[in-house]
Amino acid sequence: MQLNLSPDNDGMMSVEVNYTRYWGLRALPFDNVPDPRFYVCCSQHEAAHRWLSYGVQTGKGMLLLTGDIGCGKTLLSRRLIVGMAPTRYDVALVANPALSPSELLDEVLSQFGLEPVRSKAGRLQILNERLELNAQRGIHSVLIVDEAQSIEKNKGFEDLRLLTNFQLNDRFLMTIVLIGQPELRHRVAGIPQLNQRIAVRAHLGPFTAEETTLYIASRMGAATDRTDVFSKEAVVAIYEQSKGIGRLINALCDQCLFAGAIEHAVQVDDRLVRQVGQVK
């Protein structure tokens, strides 16, 4: 363990613990970032991934993925993107669609690497040319809109729906994947013209107790060869405290590893989990 104690600018003692070295980790297994290396093949995530992959591969017009807060929607979208070979797919990702309708369309163009123009007709023409060129090259265009529930106005949804009108006689020129919190389903349901365009729907909820066990073991397995860092009792306590929500599991496991390194613990046990949980 690397433990550095040194005064900071206010004269206080700062503590830096390199817990990756203490636990023998190659990476931080529970960072709350959408790193596809730490995707876990839990049943509901795999089912959602299969349906979305099917929708993309068969060129459906519009797909919908919803999920509770912190349940891995963004990570699943990144795994979906990683699986799309650049030689077959042209992928644009809009990560923050909390924009006006015109700004949203500009962002779509930007993510496809296109320069925005002043008129809406000009924007649509440029985008259509890109999609047609991709189709001629045997490349399917995919637009992924994350946090889609934050789209400001229904007009933004309507503009996205109209993009599915870019099609040939036998197929769509672009697949649009809408990803968001459960309220996205209600917003989509409130726009019948949009709701009818959804070809594939998937939803992610909290992990079960069994999925939580697999999740922790899999993420640790991606970072270390050790299989005994978290005791069975610790995993049960983590599930009880997190309610199976991936983001909360990550935060709790990360803090337990940090606290365990400080305490020179041999293993993260349920006592440590409870101790960390009380501090939060």
Q: Which of 49, 92, 97 is nearest to 72 (CA)?
A: 49
CATH among 3.10.450.50, 3.40.50.300, 1.10.150.120, 1.20.120.340 for 43-204: 3.40.50.300
In the structure encoding, which two tokens stand for residue 273, read together? 């989990």
| pLDDT > 70? residue 114 | yes
Domain boundaries along the sequence of the chain: 3-35+207-279, 43-204
CATH fold for domain 3-35+207-279: Helicase, Ruva Protein; domain 3 (1.10.8)
The pLDDT tens digits for 150-202 are: 998 899 999 999 999 999 888 899 999 999 999 999 999 999 999 999 999 99
pTM to 2 decimal places: 0.88
3-state SS of 168-226 is CCCCECEEEEEEECCHHHHHHHCCHHHHCCEEEEEEECCCCHHHHHHHHHHHHHCCCCC
Q: Please provide the size of the chain in residues.
A: 280
Higher pLDDT, 112 or 13: 112
| pLDDT > 80? residue 250 | yes
